[in-house]
Amino acid sequence: MRYGTWELFDRGMLLAALAAGVELQGLQSLIRLDHFEEVPFRVAVALSGTPWADFADLLPPPQIPWVPPPRLGEFILKVDIRSRTLHLCKDLLENVQRAGISLAGFKVQVHCRGCSDVLSLLDIAILFGQSDCAALLARAGAEVSDYGRELLRASGALDPGCRPAARAAAHAALSKLWKSEIAAKGIAIFQAMKKLSQGRSFPACLVDEVMALSLNVPRIINDLDLSDEAKAWCKSVCLHLALQADPHEEEA
């Protein structure tokens, strides 16, 4: 592996290391940003673009949560030679995800007018109008950062060019949250309501309404004023009321 760039890893090389008794659980690789940083070997493999399936059966699972160093998200940015523009590489995002590495902590440092700040990968996906990457990142738990919200709403409203990607991310986040609520509470709520009804029938949609009462609306919907779009994705009356609520009222 060259510093500052990645080379594809070779499965045969790793098999030889295993045969020689190399312990892979704590193996680290060096990367160079402003200075050298150590990252877990599985992270280096995933970011190299080497298909994760080639190594999935050889590398042990991570034992502790890992926090990416600042700016590591820059390794997922690629340059389109024809248009000379930057974009997130979806193949790398998927490779990192398959490796069991959380994408939520990846950041990109930006410099503007003498100041510097960090953006999340979700910020980047929305700013670049990459709807597929935005949805993938939202499902992975990535959120819009404070600085990203400022950039996206610099003129007081979400830039029209960014709206499709923001909408895709919000829809993915809400869908994931709703599915997790159903998995965690759906059966229990249904059984409780069935018991309370004492044998009488009741509309199944009431289960959705009860779940919606306790649902915490994904931040991106309020951050980017996407409540109207979100209401069109669901029929729940209670969820509509939650989307209308001002999140700042609770903080006051």
Residue 108: strand pairing partners: 119
Highest-pLDDT range among 65-69, 146-150, 203-207, 247-251: 146-150
Report if residue 120 sits inside a domain: no
Q: Are 27 and 41 in contact (CB under 8 A)?
A: yes
Report if residue 200 sits inside a domain: yes
Can you give the pLDDT at residue 249? 45
Which residues contact residue 36 at a Cβ distance below 8 angstroms, ignoring those fewer than 6 apart?
Answer: 3, 30
Give me the number of domains the chain comprises. Answer: 1
Report if residue 155 sits inside a domain: no
Quick count: other Cβ atoms within 10 Å of Cβ 183? 9
Tokens of 132: 């597929």
Can you give the pLDDT at residue 111? 74
Residues of the domain holding 235: 169-251
Can you give the pLDDT at residue 158? 79
Q: How far is CA 214 from CA 25, 76, 178, 185, in A?
A: 41, 36, 11, 10
Q: In the predicted model, what is the mean pLDDT of the chain?
A: 79
Can you give the pLDDT at residue 250? 46
Residues 96-154: tens digit of each pLDDT: 999 889 999 999 988 766 677 889 999 999 999 999 999 999 999 999 999 999 888 87
Report if residue 39 sits inside a domain: no
Which residues contact residue 85 at a Cβ distance below 8 angstroms, ignoring those fewer than 6 apart?
Answer: 79, 128
Can you give the pLDDT at residue 1? 32
Report if residue 125 sits inside a domain: no
pLDDT at 57 over 50: yes
Can you give the pLDDT at residue 217? 82
Report if residue 243 sits inside a domain: yes
**Dist CA 129 CA 127 (whole Å):** 5
Residues 24-55: tens digit of each pLDDT: 777 788 777 777 788 888 888 888 888 888 88
Report if residue 6 sits inside a domain: no
Report if residue 9 sits inside a domain: no
The model's pTM is 0.79
Residues 224-245: tens digit of each pLDDT: 888 888 777 766 544 555 555 5
pLDDT at 221 over 80: yes
